[in-house]
Structure 1
Amino acid sequence: MGLSKSVSDLLRQKAQLDNEPDDVQDENEVNEVEISGEEKALSLESDLVLLGIVWNAIRPHETFEKLKTRYHLNENLVIEKGNNSFWIYGKEDLISESIVSFVDYFAKDIRDFKFIRPESPYDSFIYYFFKEAIMCRLNVLVSNSFHERDLQQVIIKDVIRELKDDARKMDNINKKYHLQMIDNWISQILVKNTHLSM
């Protein structure tokens, strides 16, 4: 699943800005430099990749997105918060843990957006994001493009099947609660807002 053209443009602009030198050092000047905490953070970030973006689905039509704040939640997770988005950077093998930490830390901010829409080149990001969205009852919309919508519908069906299988292994009270919660999310959020039939 590819990123939309606007996201690709944003990533290209961000990479160009990151590559521009801030200070030009004199070639003859050689200094011994101690590694500061800031440089350690930059070296840690170089191992991180863009896992996905969570957009405010109802946002003004702006030509660009301003990234306001960078949060270092741990050495494996960096979140950049913009006006209408969250850019999630982490390690590919820690996608599930990264999404859980992101939702735990930014739950209030996520709920401030009326609807959210995940976008990622990783299908596993979409999978774990929808799994967390169901458990936290987040208002999530699927993609606008036909190919991505079909893919996300398949992913959502897999997530729901797994959550229902897990719920059936619980005791009767918890099983009933979790199955009802999943069915409510499907009927009140997914079908009502996205018109996907499950």
Structure 2
Amino acid sequence: MNNLKCWKSWLEDAFLLCTPDDPECLKYHYMTKTEKDEPQLTVEQEIAEMNKQIYESEGFDIDYSMFRCLFNYHLVDPDDHDFLKEPENDGDLMKRVSQESLKRYNQEKETAFEFVEVEKANYHFCCGFMFLITFYVLDPFDHQRKTFQARIFYSSIYPTEYVFCRPKPDPNVHSDESSEEDVEKGWT
């Protein structure tokens, strides 16, 4: 795997964009914590907590309600138009790229999962946007709803790259060993 493709598999560390004391700090709708809420964390503690959540979930499961600071990771607002112009919205884009990611997964794994809906999506900037999308699928084998995750590089200049799509890992299963396929795809 060449170095240019490899960077898309790296986890980006959290970095501080601004603190709540900064008059330029924009309040995002998902930032609901105030100085009165417990626990009251320092900026350094918030950075450490953000990085902990990023590394524990590979950037997919971040509890933004814990933070007063603004970081490089953001929650996608499906009703907003950050990535597309009207009439499409960000939710339409998350659905479209999730469906394409699942289609590619099904072709590669010879499965037939059916897309249901997007649960949530995070993103960070990286000469484009790195989307970390969690979505639901229907398993045709047992007719049960399953949770999938996809990492997708999106840019208005470069072609969209589907870094990976997978069933959401079970947080209760810990393995120190990685498969060759995981290593090749940069999933470790």
> Which protein is bigger by CA-based radius of gyration?
1
TM-score by length of 2: 0.28
TM-score by length of 1: 0.27
Structure with greater helix percent: 1
